[in-house]
Amino acid sequence: MKIAMIGTGYVGLVSGVCFSDFGHEVVCVDKDPRKIDMLNRGEVPIYEPGLEDLLAKNVAAGRLTFTLDLAQAVADADAVFIAVGTPTRRGDGHADLTYVMAAAEEIAQAAKDYVVIVTKSTVPVGTNRQVQQVVAKANPGLDFDVASNPEFLREGAAIDDFMKPDRVVVGVQSDRAAEVMSDIYRPLYLRDFPIVITDLESAEMIKYAANAFLATKITFINEIAALCEKVGADIKQVSKGMGMDNRIGNKFLHAGPGYGGSCFPKDTRALARMGQDHAVPMQITETVIKVNDETKRRMVDKLLDMCDGSFNGKTITILGVTFKPNTDDMRDAPSLTIIPSLVGGGARVHVVDPQGRHEGEALLPGVTWNDDPYDAARNADLLVILTEWNEFRALDLTRLAGSMAKARLADLRNIYTAQDARRAGFEAYDSIGRKQ
Ligand code: UGA
For residue range 372-384, list pLDDT tens digits in order.
999 999 999 999 9
- In three-state secondary structure terms, 112 is coil
User: Does residue 147 have its Cβ closer than 6 Å to ligand 1?
Assistant: no
- Do 69 and 193 sit in the same domain of this protein? yes
In a domain, 138, yes or no: yes
What letter represents residue 389's amino acid? W
- Per-residue pLDDT band for 262 (boundaries 50, 70, 90) equals confident
pLDDT tens string 112-134: 999 999 999 989 999 999 999 99
The domain tally of the chain equals: 3
- Per-residue pLDDT band for 93 (boundaries 50, 70, 90) equals confident
Strand partners, 28: 5, 66
Best residue among 18, 218, 236, 337 to mutate for probing ligand 1's pocket (most ligand atoms within 8 Å of CB) is 218
Task: Kindly report the CATH number assigned to the domain that includes residue 128.
Answer: 3.40.50.720
Averaged pLDDT, 155-181: 96
pLDDT tens string 169-218: 999 999 999 999 999 999 998 899 999 999 999 999 999 999 999 999 99
- Do 235 and 266 sit in the same domain of this protein? yes
pTM, 2 dp: 0.94
- Do 28 and 85 sit in the same domain of this protein? yes
The pLDDT of residue 95 = 80
Domain-terminating residue out of 169, 198, 227: 198
Domain-terminating residue out of 271, 290, 309: 290
- Per-residue pLDDT band for 436 (boundaries 50, 70, 90) equals low
- Do 67 and 184 sit in the same domain of this protein? yes
Domain-terminating residue out of 270, 290, 310: 290
Is the per-residue pLDDT at 323 higher than 70? yes
CB atoms within 10 A of CB 158: 25
- Do 220 and 157 sit in the same domain of this protein? no
Residue 254, marked binder:
yes
Q: What sign does the CA torsion over 355, 361, 367, 371 have?
A: positive
Rg of the Cα atoms in the chain: 24
d(CA 430, CA 418): 7
Task: Kindly report the CATH number assigned to the domain that includes residue 255.
Answer: 1.10.1040.10
- Do 252 and 354 sit in the same domain of this protein? no
- Do 180 and 213 sit in the same domain of this protein? no
Question: With contact defined as beta carbons under 8 Å apart, do 200 and 173 qualify?
Answer: yes
Averaged pLDDT, 390-403: 97
Share of the chain above pLDDT 70, in %: 100
- Do 75 and 169 sit in the same domain of this protein? yes
Query: What are the phi and psi torsion angles at 312 (to 5°)?
Result: -60, 125
d(CA 142, CA 181): 19
In a domain, 252, yes or no: yes
Averaged pLDDT, 246-260: 98
In a domain, 370, yes or no: yes
Kindly give the residue spans of alpha helices, DSSP state H, lying in 121-259.
Answer: 127-138, 158-163, 175-189, 200-231, 235-243
433: nearest Cα among 235, 245, 195, 154: 235
Is the per-residue pLDDT at 15 higher than 90? yes
In a domain, 435, yes or no: no
d(CA 200, CA 81): 15
- In three-state secondary structure terms, 242 is helix
In a domain, 436, yes or no: no
ipTM comes to 0.98
How far, in Å, is the centroid of ligand 1 from the Cα of 234?
Answer: 23
Strand partners, 316: 349, 382
Averaged pLDDT, 263-271: 94
Is the per-residue pLDDT at 83 higher than 90? yes
User: Does residue 389 have its Cβ closer than 6 Å to ligand 1?
Assistant: no
- Do 18 and 108 sit in the same domain of this protein? yes
Best residue among 154, 242, 296 to mutate for probing ligand 1's pocket (most ligand atoms within 8 Å of CB) is 154
212: nearest Cα among 323, 293, 288: 288
Question: With contact defined as beta carbons under 8 Å apart, do 431 and 414 qualify?
Answer: yes
426: nearest Cα among 165, 102, 326, 406: 406
- Do 148 and 244 sit in the same domain of this protein? no
Residue 93 region, left (φ>0) first, then alpha (ψ -120 to 50), else beta? Answer: left
The pLDDT of residue 200 = 97
Q: Residue 111: which residues within 8 A CB-CB, separation 6 or more?
A: 74, 75, 77, 80, 117, 139, 142, 144
The pLDDT of residue 33 = 97
Taking CA atoms only, the protein residue closest to ligand 1 atom 18 is 154
In a domain, 190, yes or no: yes
In a domain, 144, yes or no: yes
Q: What is the mean pLDDT of the chain?
A: 96
416: nearest Cα among 86, 400, 81, 405: 400
User: Does residue 219 have its Cβ closer than 6 Å to ligand 1?
Assistant: no
106: nearest Cα among 127, 134, 143, 128: 134
The pLDDT of residue 87 = 85
Question: With contact defined as beta carbons under 8 Å apart, do 407 and 436 qualify?
Answer: no
In a domain, 203, yes or no: no
Distances (CA, A) of 58 to 18, 52, 62: 9, 10, 6
- Do 69 and 187 sit in the same domain of this protein? yes
Give the range of the structural domain holding residue 238, as residue numbers without chain letter: 208-290
- Do 57 and 194 sit in the same domain of this protein? yes
